[in-house]
């Protein structure tokens, strides 16, 4: 699935899936266009059944408080909030973020974060799951959306027949 340019709005569901396999990629171009807030502001969140526990953030992408640094969190190794923070994104410039979990040739899954083509973080995920009743929010309910523009939003479930 690929989406055109959009501005995040609270409680906007752009994708639903009955199943979300352990092998996936989410890629998005992000352009900060406004001020930051003294609290986390949401950009996107993929979330599973009941939006709690291990399936709550698969992944979540937000801005950190008082910053344009990305806070990326996902379900990794039994921890529902495995987090990584990036450098601040430049104001009014496009940056490409890719968050993925891929099956490697040796049979293990690697979770990774890439920003503008540079790999920032990888970890082997020994506790992968297939999640049920998944929704992609841009932006999630109950949280202030970040002041950004998004484009080239690509969501790929490599383990299922659809994109």
**Tens of pLDDT, residues 3-60:** 778 999 999 999 999 999 999 999 999 999 988 899 999 999 999 866 567 778 899 9
Q: Would the CA dihedral through 126, 114, 69, 24 be positive or negative?
A: negative
Which residues lie below 8 Å from residue 20, measured CB to CB, with a gap of 6+?
46, 48, 58, 130, 131, 132, 134, 157
Q: Identify the CATH assignment for 2-157 out of 3.40.50.720, 2.60.120.200, 1.10.3720.10, 3.60.9.10.
A: 2.60.120.200
Check: CB of residue 139 under 8 Å from CB of residue 43: yes
pTM higher than the cut 0.95: no
Which residues lie below 8 Å from residue 46, measured CB to CB, with a gap of 6+?
20, 26, 57, 58, 59, 60, 134, 135, 136, 137, 155
């Amino acid at each position: 699935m690929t989406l055109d340019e959009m501005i995040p709005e609270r409680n906007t569901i752009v994708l639903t899936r009955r199943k979300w396999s352990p092998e996936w990629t989410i890629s998005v171009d992000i352009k900060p266009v406004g001020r930051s807030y003294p609290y986390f502001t949401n950009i996107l969140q993929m979330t599973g059944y009941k939006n709690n526990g291990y399936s709550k953030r698969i992944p979540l992408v937000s801005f950190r408080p008082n910053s344009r640094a990305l806070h990326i969190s996902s379900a990794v190794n039994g921890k529902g909030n495995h987090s990584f923070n990036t450098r601040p994104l430049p104001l009014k410039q496009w940056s490409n973020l890719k968050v993925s979990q891929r099956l490697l040739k040796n049979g293990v899954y690697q979770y990774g974060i890439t920003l503008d083509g540079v790999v920032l973080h990888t970890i082997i995920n020994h506790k992968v799951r297939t999640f049920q009743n998944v929704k992609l929010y841009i932006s999630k309910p109950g949280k202030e959306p970040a002041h950004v523009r998004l484009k080239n939003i690509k969501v790929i479930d490599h383990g299922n027949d659809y994109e």
